[in-house]
């Protein structure tokens, strides 16, 4: 059974940093590029980052580029998102998301390319 479980969210002040983790199980982690998607209150879901199978080619949305860093630990099947310089616009539920197909890492993607989402972890940025 494919499972993704995020952790690391919470309340932070503007300018602070947070690291999110996603523990993956039930599939061959190294065969899949992985994604982070977020959803702010009252807004639609926003793809923010993905990383290829080897962890050498990260991609970022413009909204987080230069502030967030995606990485992965293929030995322990964990996906990370390091978030720096947080502001109120980063308040959202953050989801770890698996691609439907192995071996792909799209420059452009849509939700139809995803097949498994974690339950999400909430990050609230507030003074």
pLDDT value of position 100: 96
Task: Provide the pLDDT confidence category of residue 123 given band limits of 50, 70 and 90.
Answer: very high
| Tens digit of each residue's pLDDT (9 = 90 or more) over 18-72 | 999 999 999 999 999 999 999 999 999 999 999 999 999 999 999 999 999 999 9
Task: Provide the pLDDT confidence category of residue 7 given band limits of 50, 70 and 90.
Answer: very high
**Whole-Å CA distances, 33 to 13, 74, 80, 87, 91:** 31, 11, 13, 27, 25
Report d(CA 71, CA 94) in Å as an integer: 15
Structure tokens at 81: 């998102």
pLDDT value of position 67: 98
């Amino acid at each position: 059974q494919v499972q993704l479980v995020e952790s690391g969210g919470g309340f932070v002040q503007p300018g602070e940093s947070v690291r999110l983790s996603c523990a993956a199980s039930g599939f061959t982690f190294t065969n899949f590029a992985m994604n982070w998607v977020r959803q702010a209150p009252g807004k639609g879901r926003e793809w923010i980052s993905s990383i290829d199978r080897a962890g050498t080619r990260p991609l970022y949305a413009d909204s987080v580029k230069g502030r967030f860093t995606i990485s992965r630990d293929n030995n322990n099947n964990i996906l990370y998102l390091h978030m720096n310089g947080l502001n109120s616009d980063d308040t959202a539920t953050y989801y770890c998301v698996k691609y439907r197909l192995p071996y792909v890492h799209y420059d452009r993607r849509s939700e139809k390319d995803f097949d498994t989402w974690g339950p999400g972890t909430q990050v609230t940025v507030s003074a």
